[in-house]
Structure 1
Amino acid sequence: MSRKRKMASITSAGLVFAMLLSQSAVADLGTEQVKAAENTAKWVDTEYVVNGDFESSINGDGSITGWTKSTGSGLFVTKDEWAKNNTTQFTKIKDITGDNSLSQTIKNVEPGTYRISIDQDGQKDVKSGLYVKYLEQAKELPATTDWDNWETVTTDEFTIEAVQDVDICIGGDVTNGYWGDIDNIKLQKLYETKADDTDSSEENQKGYTISVNQTDVAVENGDTVNLEAKITYDGKEISELPEGVNLWWWVDKWNDHIDGLDDGTLENDNGSGKTLKAAYTTKSAGKYYVVAQLKDADGNELGYVCTTITSKAPEIDTSVDNDDIVVAKVKDLSSDFIMGMDISSVITELGSGVVYKDYNGKVIDNVTDFCKLLAENDINHIRVRVWNNPYDSNGNGYGGGNNDVATAKKIADACRSAGIKMLVDFHCSDFWTDPSKQMVPKAWKAIQLMRRLQL
């Protein structure tokens, strides 16, 4: 074979090998693309278990917040620097045999796939004798591997089809002579996500969110603003808050809200921490900052929304409305029923240009015709106030009708001609009096007190 032919053969072989490499690379790339599109699963810690890390207080009777402990149980909480969370651990002791159990009812667990997770440490290669019991299932805790060698144990997964309570129990006969610890009991939820779905990260899937139907609203003084919070957990809206999670409504006027008012009324919050609705009634012109704050049992904030309410004084309509004022007649009144009104100012009103008209549009320009019009409309009693001398030294009236005796007599004559009875309201003064204000008439000032009493 010639050199040239050999070179051709080698070149052909090289091309075949290169093509195989290329095809292999393409196949590998396709496999990676398929893998990237496949669903992946993540176990995410939930907030359902109350005091699962045993950080809440231990009660004076030895009970543990959130948990029910069997009588004489060898399980107790103690503070220890070697705890899994470096603060508190849940310890099993060897000297008590028989039933040793710790249980809790987890409230309102949403549908999904779950498992229970527990951290444990203890004597090397020795089983504690405890089981994790849940939904009629049980898992024995495996042998611990050594002191302060914490390991996480998980149960088999289980499925919740509808919202329900789940009872969990850690209990059993403690192995004779065994010492060890457990900590951080959690209910974990399984999430299936796509590897290329950035919105499916643990941070975006886990935890609570809160929103409120109104966050910036303008009203008039005295108006009520109705607020409603929407709470989601792991992307799903919940209608009731689980045990250990509370929603607090309050009015903020601190920090960035020092210009806020708090003289209104916050309603519909019964103080339980479970109310998703609230209403705030404003009182003054200004801004109100109403806060909806979601917290866990330890007081940690899970979410916060502030609604700004801007309140202003109502606008006053100063325009003149010329529409007719109609008062409907009350039917079937007895013949002696008193239908009365005060017309003390009618003479000064007519003299100052006020125009009264009857139903036919005829102008009423004197007190006699005015009283006849009243009588035709079933007025049968008139009240008239009488002042002693309602004028100053220059003859200017004090106002309010300037009702001296002469003015009252004119009104009385008009009432008599119309068949209307009159009630005279004597004011022993030159102007208005009432129980807290009694001005002596000018004409009486020089008269001794005893003489005044005789007048």
Structure 2
Amino acid sequence: MRKTKFMKKVSAVILLSSLSLLTFGCSNPKSNKDTKKDNKKSTEVTTEANINANNSLTNGDFEAKDFSGWETTGDIIKVQTDDWATVNKTYFVKMSADAADASFEVKQSFKSSVSGDCAAGIDYEGAASFAGSCKLTVEANGKSASVDFKPSKDWDFWEKTSTSENPIKVEESDVVTITITGDLKKGDWGDFDNIVFDKADSLKGDSSNEKKSFDNITYGGAKGSGSIDYKGITYNGMLINNGNYIKGVDISSVLSVEKSGFVYKNADGSKGDLFKILADNGINCVRVRIWNDPYKQGPPKSAINSYGGGVCDLDYAVEIAKRCKKAGISFFPDFHYSDWWSDPGRSICPKAWEGMSVDEKAKAAAEFTTEALKKIGDTGVNILIASVGNETNNFMAGESGIENIAIIMKDAAEAIRAYDKNILIAVHFTNPEKTNYLASYAKPLDEAGVDYDIFASSYYPFWHGTLDNLKSKLDLVADNYGKLTMIAEYSYSYMGSQDATATQKEYKKASPENQYDAIKLINEFSASINNCIGTFYWEPAWPLTDESTWDEYGSGWTSSIAKEYDPNTAPEKAQGSACYEQSWFDQEGNQNPVLSKGLFKKLWKDK
């Protein structure tokens, strides 16, 4: 931003005082947060007054709370503020074509207060799906220069542009005209602010239109092949996953399910081993959530005294890692930094960390991470990725807000880097359908100095909008910060009513065959996301086990004692798997088509 809030307020006071004198004591224009005008042509200021008011560029920051000093055309613009914004909390111009395609023009002539090679500049933001066009034009002494700008990074992420690449020579007091025009398509929205005219050199480099390049990421070197259009990615000198697309699953609940008596079957119906079944089907990485201490205080640490959800302590993770090693599958520990579920609605502080400051929690997270990686690493399994948090939109370890989350992430990430610099460090967020990943998370993490490699998102099509929207959100992070991207969680139902047919035409009603098609669609599309290295299906092997096992083996999503730890969201009684309808096995353990037809080997066959 080019302004300060203080200077904007001072300018506004001076401007309004001047207008009061010019109108011989009439009251100032009404001040409110939404000052939309009917703008066939602004006649608010007479020609003589306009000349007097515009001895220099007037109200370029719109802190007059209206269009004072400007001529405007079109009824799709208004001056307003946004109480929810974090970047620009002052007044700006909102443009919005709600009902139909529409256009606008905002124009001002003024006397230059500078001389030399000069240019105009503007700040703007708007919808990632913005389909129209906007232009900033400056004219003086028979010369003109213009620059197109198009909002693309969504709400609360302001960009800048200027005409500095094509400066105009002016002398002080020469008349200059700045014009902002927009041709919006139905549904487009955007904002602009801080229109300036200054020496071109002072505005050079002040542009968001330049495409960034990152030497640490190159494409090529793919080893395998399939219907996924993946070229291979080398990142910081390392060919990711040996040139193979990551086809991952999260099977955190597997030990509790097996202990509950469930049998995973081979394609021919015989008793099988889940890890071999997955490996034979082309799965090359397993993700496992890790909770710090998912047990009731006091009694022995056993499943019957756990909060359920697969138990998922470090010892369980180590056992799964051993079986991954045997099957030739890489490992991905997902640290929640809680004793139970962490997601956008909660991340309760681990019992052992209660009373700690955020800095103390960050240190504790680093120590826990190091201990866990050492124990997992001792199994000999290849640790491909490690995640510092799970769906950390709002909370981590009892702390709220991205600033506090970043403090914990930073120390935890440093611990991973110190243990093994080749492990890819992931951050994980969700709700791409309503969240600006770039402004809300990637930018503050960068400012906080969090060292990570992968920006990962959950994507459940029945909740999280379209694949095109997901791509737009992750592409912005990849393009602006040079990060790898990944789908950390996704799934689709083979039975029941939870499908995406109500909102998206690409998906079909839940059935085994339609589950196959949805998984194929998501994976093939994922490779079009910039810098995407793979996907992880969430809990494809978590069936609905017998009710008696939910407390005894922790094979339901919650046990009857979880409420002691999470009184706000845990139910009174134990409950079974929350995702059995998205399983790759039916309730008798038979394989669904995604396995029996070998989908993942068709998507990408490792070499």
Q: TM-score range by the shorter chain?
A: under 0.3
Higher helix share: 2
TM-score, normalisation: structure 1: 0.25
TM-score, normalisation: structure 2: 0.19
Higher strand share: 1
Rg (Cα) greater in structure: 1
Higher RCO (C-alpha under 8 Å, 6+ residues apart): 2
